[in-house]
């Protein structure tokens, strides 16, 4: 990327498609007994340094967002929501208090074991980053690697995971791209890209359903703000944000992505500047 930037006839486009709404996240399987305790989920969130994640896994080109509605949908994104501060010592103390003490082997003992999946649209090194982060607080996170079709079956049909790294885009509106993930009525075994966490909160359901039909923009924005605040407190997920979207293009190529579809558009307006 740095070499491309220095080429005189080349430019780098890192815009997020406002239609696709790129977003990546980590979901907890709330059917896993240990993860039903919010103290454990919060401890895991505190063990993962999302800034270091962005620098190492995304090479510094992603756009962090701790909210389930990312910065790509700016009119509904709640910028006040920030990642849980990385604090491994506090995370370890919380796990002790929750009854998950290190094993008899001393400070190097294991507290619990978790199965970690990842959608191949996320990088394998993202899963390795999570595994190493959890290892520091005594959680043995075993990463399982599958092709895309097998991953979908494992995560959404067999539900054979404790944590999964997903790549579920926000799309162009939260009712289309975000509601499917947190709406309890969309927990359906065998349905890909649905409510993987099996998250259930009646107030979240009410807010999402109200926002889906609200025509007053101000009221709709408030409904989505309230939704984001509750989800952040409940921690059914760790939101990462938009993974890098990088287009290397010759400067003479003009109007190649004039719409929200970005490079997924028709190129009908594309032309070459002499």
Cβ of 5: how many Cβ atoms within 10 Å?
Answer: 10
Residue labelled with tokens 């099996």: 198
**DSSP of 156-207, one letter per residue?**
IIS---SEEEE----TTSHHHHTHHHH-GGG--TT-TTS-TT----HHHHHH
**What are the pLDDT digits (tens) for 70-101?**
998 999 999 999 999 999 999 999 999 999 99
| pLDDT (0 to 100) of residue 169 | 93
CB-side exposure of 114: number of CA atoms within 13 Å? 30
Question: Whole-angstrom distance between the N-terminal and C-terminal Cα of the chain?
Answer: 25
Cα of 248 vs its chain's centroid, Å: 25
| Residue 67 CB burial class (10 angstroms; 0-12, 13-18, ≥19) | buried
Which phi and psi angles does 114 have, rounded to 5°? -130, 145
Residue 182 has what pLDDT? 98
Strand 139-143: give its sheet, edge to edge: 63-64, 237-242, 24-28, 163-166, 112-118, 139-143
CA 197-202-208 angle, to 5 degrees, is 80
Q: What is the pLDDT of residue 191?
A: 96
Domains of the chain and CATH, by start: 1-17+245-274 (no CATH), 20-242 (3.10.105.10)
pLDDT of residue 108: 61
Close Cβ partners of 130 (under 8 Å, ≥ 6 residues apart):
26, 48, 116, 141, 143, 163, 165
- For 106, the 3-state DSSP assignment is helix
**115-133 pLDDT, tens per residue?**
999 999 998 999 999 999 9
pLDDT in tens, 165-208: 999 999 999 999 999 999 999 999 999 999 999 999 999 999 99
Q: Give 8 or 106, the one with higher predicted confidence.
A: 8
pLDDT at 15: 85
pLDDT tens digits for 23-70? 999 999 999 999 999 999 999 999 999 999 999 999 999 999 999 999
Decide: 48 and 274 in contact? Cβ < 8 Å.
no
């Amino acid at each position: 990327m740095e070499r491309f930037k220095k080429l005189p006839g080349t430019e780098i486009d890192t815009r997020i498609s406002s239609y696709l709404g790129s977003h990546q996240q980590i979901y907890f399987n709330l059917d896993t007994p240990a993860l039903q305790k919010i103290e454990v989920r919060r401890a895991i969130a505190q063990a993962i340094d999302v800034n270091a994640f962005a620098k190492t896994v995304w090479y510094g080109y992603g756009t962090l967002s701790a909210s389930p509605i990312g910065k790509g949908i700016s009119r509904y994104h709640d910028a006040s929501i920030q990642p849980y501060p990385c604090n491994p010592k506090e995370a370890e103390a919380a796990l002790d208090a929750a009854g998950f003490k290190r094993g008899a082997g001393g400070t190097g003992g294991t507290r619990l074991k978790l199965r970690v999946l990842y959608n191949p649209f996320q990088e394998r090194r993202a899963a390795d980053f999570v595994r190493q982060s959890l290892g520091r607080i005594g959680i043995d996170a075993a990463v399982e690697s599958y092709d895309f079709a097998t991953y979908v079956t494992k995560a959404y049909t067999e539900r054979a995971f404790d944590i999964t790294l997903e790549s579920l885009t926000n799309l162009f509106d939260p009712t289309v791209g975000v509601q499917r993930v947190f709406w309890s009525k969309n927990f359906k075994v065998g349905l890909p890209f649905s409510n993987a966490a099996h998250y259930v909160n009646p107030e979240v359901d009410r807010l999402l359903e109200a926002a889906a039909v609200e025509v007053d923009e101000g009221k709709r924005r408030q409904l989505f703000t309230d939704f984001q605040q509750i989800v952040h407190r409940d921690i059914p997920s760790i939101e990462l944000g938009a993974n890098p979207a990088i287009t290397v293009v010759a400067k003479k190529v003009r109007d190649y992505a004039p719409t929200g579809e970005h490079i997924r558009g028709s190129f009908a307006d594309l032309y070459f500047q002499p």
